[in-house]
Amino acid sequence: MNATTKATIAQATVKAAAAPKAVKAKAEKVAQVIVAKAAETAKAKVAAKAKAPAKAEVKAPAKPAVKAKAEKPAVKVEKAVKAKPAAKVDTKKVTKKAQALEIMLKNPEAGRQKILAMFESKLGFSKAQANTYYYLVKA
């Protein structure tokens, strides 16, 4: 037992001595449980240390022998993978809001109806979308 456990047991014993009989019985049970848990923890730590192998004793698992049959399908898979062309992925995507802002900045003199028409033609917006983005970007 460590010092903390001993102190806890001592506190529980002192409280048990000052309390009525029903409370004393409960405090004694708590003290017994604490002692039992401390003993279990100590046993578990000792067992864990005994079970842990030394670093020098750890061995890598043996590699199984590779059969010739297993190599042929692997070669076919490699050929199939090499035959596929690699597709480029564009990581930068311009948002609709940014495109709408760009249109408005390039056409500062254009009226609302012209801006809406540009949104519809260049960005493929419906009238409702164009109107929504007009006020989003304008704000």
- How far, in Å, CA of 20 to CA of 91, rounded? 74
- How far, in Å, CA of 68 to CA of 96, rounded? 56
pLDDT in tens, 68-107: 555 555 555 555 555 555 556 556 788 999 999 999 999 9
pLDDT in tens, 114-129: 999 999 999 999 999 9
The tokens describing 4, both together, are 């903390």
- How far, in Å, CA of 8 to CA of 27, rounded? 11
- How far, in Å, CA of 51 to CA of 76, rounded? 46
The tokens describing 125, both together, are 């917006």
Domain ranges in the chain?
A: 3-53, 96-138
pLDDT in tens, 60-78: 666 666 555 555 555 555 5
The tokens describing 24, both together, are 């004393």
Taking the model in full, what pTM does it have? Answer: 0.35
pLDDT at 56: 56
